[in-house]
Structure formats: C-alpha cells, structure tokens
Amino acid sequence: MVNQVIEKKYYKVDSKETLKLLFQHIQDSDTLAYDTETTSLNPRKGKIIGFSVSGDVGIGFYLPTMVWNTETEQVEELTIEGTGCHSIAKKLISMLVGKKLIMHNASFDARYTQNFYGVDLLPSLWVDTALLVHTVKEEGAFGYGSPFGLKPIAIMIQEEIGLDVKEAANQEQIELKASIKENGGVTTRVNFEMYKADIDILSKYAAADTDLTLRICNHFLKVLKEEGLEKFFFEEEVMPLYREVTIPMEIEGLALDIPLIEKTREDVIKDQERYKSSVMTELIKLSKVKEWVMDTALKNFPPSPKGKWASTLVELYGLPLPKTARGYSLKNSNVLALEEHPVREYLLTGELDHLEEEVIIRVSMKLWKDSNDGELINIQSKKQMAEIAFDYLKEKPLSKTAKGQAQFDDDAIQALSAKYEWCKNLRLYNKLLKIKSTYIDRFYEAAEDGRFYPYFKQNGTVSGRYGSDLQQLPKPKEEGEADPIIVHYTNTIRAFFISDPGTVFVDDDYESLEPHIFASISNDKALQEIFNKGHDFYSTVAIRTENLNNQKDKYPDGVSADKKAPNFLKKLDAPKRNTAKGYSLGIAYGMSAYALAMSIGVSKEEGKRLHQGYLEGFPGVANWIKESRAKFKSSGTIQNQVGRVRHLDKGKAVYDIFGESIMDWRTRKELEREYGKDQVLQWYRDYKNALNNVLNFQIQSLAASVVNRAALAINRKLKEVGIKGIVVAQIHDQLVIKVVEEQAEEAAKVIQHIMETTTQLPGVTLKAPPEIGLNLRDAH
C-alpha cells in the first residue's frame, strides 16, 4: 500500500532568509539526516562544496559552499551577504554535534567533515542507513544496482515511502549529467565530477538525498523493531563497532615501508623475467612446440607478394626498392628495375617455388613475433598455451570452456607441472605476476605520503564479516608449505605494513575459530573434545569418519589425534588426514555426498560412504543440520547465537510451494514440462542455496561477531586502563592493534584475555595467543 505522498520542500541556502530557515530547522530538530557534496572520493585530499540536512520527511536544505567557475576551471568559495560560506557551514555543522545524526555511508561524510572543517560528528552518529538496511535485509536491494546504494534502497521501498524514486532518480541523473558535461566535467563511473554541476540542479539533488536518507531510516527502524534487532544494532554490535572501530581504522591507516616495497618490485620483476625466460627456453626445445610456432606464424601471416609480408621479405634481403610510409613500394616498374633475384621473380609472379622454405618460414615468423609483443609464444595467452598443450603436445584437457574449448587454466597447469619443467616454471611465473599486480603494485600506487588507507565495509558480506582490501592479504606461509620463492614474497608483503615510530603491533589471531564455533553450535561432544584436549582437528575427523581404529589390519596399534602420541595420524598416514581437510568443514557448510566426492576426487560411492561416516561419527552435527533446516522451513530465517539474522525468502518461497520434492530430479523433470528448464533450475538452486546458507551462515556470522566484538572491547578497555593503543586492522580472524612500545607486553595480556573471553562459546574455549612485532610479518 502506498503511503500518503508528502509534499517536498527543498531549499537552496543562498540568502539571509534561507539561512535563517536552515538555522531554525537544525535548532528545532533532534534527529537529522546529514550529507556532504565533495570534489573527490578521497576525504583526506578533497574539498566540501556543500552539505545538506533533513530533519523532517519532505524537507531538505542544501548549503552550497563552493561553485565551479568554468572560466578559471576551479571551485571557488561562495558568500552570503559578504560572509564566506565555509565559515557559515562550520558554525552550522557544529550545531549538529549532540544531535542524533543519520547518514548513508557515514564513514565518508564524517571523515570529510573532520578533515575539512575540524568538526567531529562521529560521536553524534546515530544510524548509518546502509548498515541499518544490511541488518534487516542483508542482501540489500538486488536488481537496482549497488545493493546498499541510497537510490537502489529507496527504489526498493518507494511505495512504502510514498515516492516514485525510480522516475525521480532517472530524471535527476539525466539533469545532473547534462549539467556536468555542459560545464566541461566528466560523468564516468570512476570519475563523476558532481562538483561541476549547476548549483540549482546540485542543490535539488543534494536536498533530495537527505530526505531519502531520513525516509529510509524511518522505514527500516520499524523493521528493525519488528525483528527484535534494536539492541543488536544500537548497543551490542553494528553501530558501536562502526563508530568505535570501523571508522577509526579507516581514519588511522597503516604506515608502509616504501623502500622495501620498491626493492621488492625490482626483485619480483627480475624473478619474473628469469622464470619467463626459462619457460620459453624449455618450450622451444620441444619439436612439437617449434612446429606450433611455424604453423601459427604461417597461418597468421601467409606468404603474399603484396603488403607486409612482401615488404618484410624485401627488407630481409636488403633489396633497393623505394620506401613509403607503409613499407616498400612494390609497383611492378620498381620491381622490374631490380637485378635478377629469386625475390624479384616471386614479387612479379607470386609463385612460391622461387623462394626457399626456410625463407618463407623466417619471414612469417618475424611478422608473427612482431605482432606477438616480440615473443614467439605469449605464455600469458590461454588460447596459445591451450593449442600447444592440447593440440600439439596431445595432453588431455581437464575441463572445457562454456564454448566447448579445451581450457588451459590453473588446474591444467598444476596437473602438467609434474610432467613438464616449462609448466612448473609457468605456474611460478603466473603466481609472481599475481603477487606483483595484486599486492606490490597496488599498495605502492595507493600509498599517500607513505601510508595506506584500507576500507572496511561492515555490509561487505551477508555474514557481517568485513569486506576489505586487506582481507586479500596472503596468509603467512612456512617454509615447505609452498615453493620457496612464493613463500618469500608472500611473507615479504606482510612486512610492507609497519608500525609508526615509538609503537609496535600486537597481532592476535584466533586459532581455528570457525572449527571452534562449529563444535560449539552443533553441540557435538566429540568435536568439542578435540579442542578441549588440544587434539588435531583433521585427524579426529578422519579417525571418526572412517572408523580407523577398527581397521586393525592397517593400523594394528590404532591411531590417535593427539599430536604428541607415537601413533598420531599425521605421522602414520598423512594422506588420510589431508583427505579429511576436504570435508571437515564442508559438510557443516552443506556439502552433499556428491559434492564431497567431486571435491576430493573419489567415486560417488566413496563420497556417500564418507558423508554418512562423518554424520555417524559426529551425531551432534547430524542433529544440528536437521534442526537448523527445520527452523528455516518454518520461518524462512536463521539466527546465530548473538542475534544476527539471515533471511532466506527465495528458498522459503520454493519450499512453501514444492516442499522437499524440488530436490528430486524426477519431480524437476515433470515441472520442466510446465514451467521450463531455466525456471525449475532457478527454484532448485534457490532452495539448495538456502539449505546450505542455513548452516554456513551460523558459523561464519558468529565468527564475524566474535572478532567484531573483541575489537570493540579492546578499544574500550585500552582506553579505560590508560594504554595508548587502537585496533588498526582486521584481517580474517586476526586483529592488529597498534600500541606504544613500552606498554606492549601489558597490552598483549589485555588483548588476549578480551579475545578469548568477550564472546563465550558453550563447550569450547577460544584461544588467541598474541605476537608483538614492528610489522605484520614479524608480529604474526
């Protein structure tokens, strides 16, 4: 049902009268939506060109502080009756301190306001609407663009808030883009120069945004209350974490060891060239590869008495023909003037009999090499490498592309590495390329005065785990775990991040956090015993799943998960333990017997046996899976131990219509006749995903909350006990806390206690031993 449409009153504040209205509006409003318009997406370098507020639905004020001057091509400060708008803005924004502020992506606006005007609005932040929506609708506004963008969210609920947002937003975008372009601005997705728009258009746009923010907040606060999530959002996790941990982390950033990064860049380039050269050398040794090069060169550059091929032939012999911008002039008169020569005869007749085969191949190969970045083989071309590996070397492909072409991917390279030295080196070369672009270049190019400012999105995942560019940091590796050169660079990357002078990092990472959580929430005593006794997780899973202690013919003295025992499984049968890694958590995440078989490369029968053995070996898990799925089928939701909710509306809708029958392939075949294959497949996927999400959400979201709440408690406790320190990063299950050096040992004890006790997990005890160091490598 559409709510009553409320008349919109949007004001551009550019006179004494409108300034008085804005002043009165702020003074009279306890709760206000707030937004800034800026020259850049970088809050440390850009300028605020105006701000907007809305304290009542339908009302919005925009105070422009700067305007784009098309003649000087600069933004210039505005005035109101002789007073600069920046000083006016600072006074008005200062009035917002102590109010209940609503913002959409508050980290951006709060940091900008602090940097540009020196006004700290963070303590006054009441609601971030992107996080509010994420808490009650964790997948956001799918189908409308960015799932947690302001406009997509507003469009999603436009009937409820009494606006035709979609039409208005489209019209706004058209007007705004036209205005920006008219003033010489750019409107690309990467660079949207909003500050170049005409001030009247920008004012309406900005005022509308805060009005929308307020409407969205009002709507979803009701949903929050209905779902009983107010305490979780306002007191226990979401907003306290955002104000006290997330935004401070984004403000703080991390210092970079720039000389180390520069040296590492030089080293990795040299190593890339070394491995590339090795790959090329080994490939060209193979007769079949030489054959591919010649065939490919001739196919792409066949002999011709005209054009590039002919010009290259002439150049090869140094024949005295006149040159043009495109090559040699091959007019008959010019060619006839040449002395008798095989090339002369070929150019006149086009008959290849005049040329030796070696010459033909040489010309075509030169042209091919010139067109292929100066290489006979582009080892980064999957097409070229697939032709070499599968068509010429006659290796069997492991998979095919959607178009049915043999696929030369990482799996193929890994498989062929055991047979070919060139493939082994190609695998390392590819890894070095990825390390350079993903980590070394990215951090170096993003550095600002020797500092990297990561983002931490609390709504980056449905589970509540951060979405962050630091989550991509490679995990530290020990020698022997991987190729030495990859271990070297992987660990060096973490050394890029250094503590500031006079400080150190206390780096604390939970030990096996998700397995601990799994053991706790499944209430399986055998799983809990693993951690309470300090046993090996994967060994225990293998022993109980495969009932190894009853296999006396293979293990006469039995096997143990005790790492100190002489019959520790890892010592007796490491491959058996490694196999358990493939399904130890997978089944908890909803892995079927068939998927298990595929993931570890065994038969369907063996997959079924292991799946059944796992559930029989850990009966608490089987019961937890059954109960969790029953809750979903009843309510369409699942809630974790601390209250975060996962809504599985699509899966519930399918279940309500078809029940479990949608999982039966015969039923699906019948439905396909009526509804079509694509629709039935979508229903099946929606339901299957829901059955899996019911399980993995409980584990992953609780893991997120454990780390999040520990980070919040650490910042509060350090302040309370007088230790100068702050959480500066969260990476997976790891917290990095920067503290002054002389308080590091004391801080480490406080941090460990908080991480191990803030969230209690029934049946298990969390472990988080801290490390202290000057960089993220040595402190981990």
CA–CA gap between residue 150 and residue 70 (Å, rounded): 30
**DSSP letters for 669-731:** HHHHHHH-HHHHHHHHHHHHHHHHHHHHHHHHHHHHHHHHHHHHHHHHHHHHHT--EEEEEEE
Structural domains present in the chain: 9-252 (3.30.420.10), 499-511+625-780 (3.30.70.370)
Kindly state the percentage of the chain with pLDDT values over 90: 73
User: In this predicted structure, what is the pLDDT of residue 146?
Assistant: 82
pLDDT band, residue 2 (cuts 50/70/90): very low
Average pLDDT over residues 645-664: 95
**Tokens representing 548?**
């190894």
**DSSP letters for 199-214:** HHHHHHHHHHHHHHHH
pLDDT band, residue 6 (cuts 50/70/90): low
DSSP-assigned letter for residue 586: T
| Cβ count near 354 (within 10 Å) | 17
| In the predicted structure, residue 58 carries a pLDDT above the cut 60 | yes
pLDDT band, residue 466 (cuts 50/70/90): very high
Are 579 and 600 spatial neighbours (Cβ–Cβ below 8 Å)? yes
CA distances to 6, 35, 314 from 24, rounded to whole Å, are 21, 18, 85
Are 62 and 93 spatial neighbours (Cβ–Cβ below 8 Å)? no
Are 308 and 370 spatial neighbours (Cβ–Cβ below 8 Å)? no
Nearest to 492 by CA among 266, 707, 323: 266
Between 510 and 589, the higher pLDDT residue: 510
CA–CA gap between residue 771 and residue 456 (Å, rounded): 23
**Tokens representing 139?**
């997948």
pLDDT band, residue 142 (cuts 50/70/90): confident
Of 74-88, 467-481, 691-705, the poorest mean pLDDT is in 467-481
User: In this predicted structure, what is the pLDDT of residue 5?
Assistant: 55
Average pLDDT over residues 11-40: 96
| In the predicted structure, residue 646 carries a pLDDT above the cut 80 | yes
User: In this predicted structure, what is the pLDDT of residue 1?
Assistant: 39
**DSSP letters for 229-265:** -HHIIIIISHHHHIIIIIHHHHHH-EEE-HHHHHHHH
CA–CA gap between residue 506 and residue 247 (Å, rounded): 20
As a whole number, the mean pLDDT across the chain is: 92
Q: Is 594 helix (H, G, I), strand (E, B) or coil?
A: helix
Average pLDDT over residues 717-745: 96
Beta-strand (E) ranges in 419-537? Answer: 451-452, 456-457, 467-468, 497-498, 503-509
CA distances to 256, 710, 723 from 748, rounded to whole Å, are 23, 13, 11
Q: In this structure, which amino acid lies at residue 461? A: T
User: In this predicted structure, what is the pLDDT of residue 476?
Assistant: 65
User: In this predicted structure, what is the pLDDT of residue 780?
Assistant: 74
762 dihedral zone (left: phi>0; alpha: psi -120 to 50; beta)? beta
Run of H or E including 603: none
User: In this predicted structure, what is the pLDDT of residue 603?
Assistant: 87
666 dihedral zone (left: phi>0; alpha: psi -120 to 50; beta)? alpha
User: In this predicted structure, what is the pLDDT of residue 280?
Assistant: 95
**Crossing angle between the packed helical segments 537-545 and 574-581, to the nearest 10 degrees:** 90
| In the predicted structure, residue 480 carries a pLDDT above the cut 50 | no
User: In this predicted structure, what is the pLDDT of residue 508?
Assistant: 95
pLDDT band, residue 389 (cuts 50/70/90): very high
Average pLDDT over residues 746-775: 96
User: In this predicted structure, what is the pLDDT of residue 102?
Assistant: 98
Average pLDDT over residues 475-504: 84
pLDDT band, residue 215 (cuts 50/70/90): very high
User: In this predicted structure, what is the pLDDT of residue 133?
Assistant: 97
Supply φ then ψ for residue 190, to 5 degrees.
-75, -35
| Cβ count near 550 (within 10 Å) | 9
| In the predicted structure, residue 630 carries a pLDDT above the cut 90 | yes
User: In this predicted structure, what is the pLDDT of residue 555?
Assistant: 86
pLDDT band, residue 760 (cuts 50/70/90): very high
Helical H segments across 533-573, by residue range = 537-545, 569-572
pLDDT band, residue 71 (cuts 50/70/90): confident
Nearest to 476 by CA among 778, 738, 167, 266: 778
CA angle 310, 312, 313 (to 5 degrees): 65
pLDDT in tens, 291-300: 999 999 999 9
Are 103 and 33 spatial neighbours (Cβ–Cβ below 8 Å)? yes
Average pLDDT over residues 44-60: 96
Sign of CA dihedral 722, 723, 725, 730: negative
User: In this predicted structure, what is the pLDDT of residue 590?
Assistant: 82
Of 278-287, 296-305, 394-403, 697-706, the poorest mean pLDDT is in 394-403
Supply φ then ψ for residue 617, to 5 degrees.
-75, -25
Burial class for 177, CB neighbours closer than 10 Å (0-12, 13-18, 19+): middle
Run of H or E including 84: strand 83-84
- The model's pTM: 0.88
Between 73 and 120, the higher pLDDT residue: 120
| In the predicted structure, residue 629 carries a pLDDT above the cut 50 | yes
User: In this predicted structure, what is the pLDDT of residue 525?
Assistant: 92
User: In this predicted structure, what is the pLDDT of residue 239?
Assistant: 98
| Cβ count near 253 (within 10 Å) | 20
CA–CA gap between residue 543 and residue 577 (Å, rounded): 8
CA–CA gap between residue 369 and residue 137 (Å, rounded): 55
Kindly state the percentage of the chain with pLDDT values over 70: 98
Average pLDDT over residues 157-182: 81
Between 578 and 509, the higher pLDDT residue: 509
* Diameter of the chain measured on Cα atoms: 100
CA angle 373, 379, 380 (to 5 degrees): 85
| Cα 380 → chain centroid | 24
Can you name the residues that pair with 128 across neighbouring β-strands? Answer: 103
CA angle 48, 50, 52 (to 5 degrees): 125
pLDDT in tens, 245-259: 999 999 999 999 999
Of 170-174, 467-471, 638-642, the poorest mean pLDDT is in 170-174
pLDDT in tens, 423-461: 999 999 999 999 999 999 999 999 999 999 999 999 999
User: In this predicted structure, what is the pLDDT of residue 542?
Assistant: 87
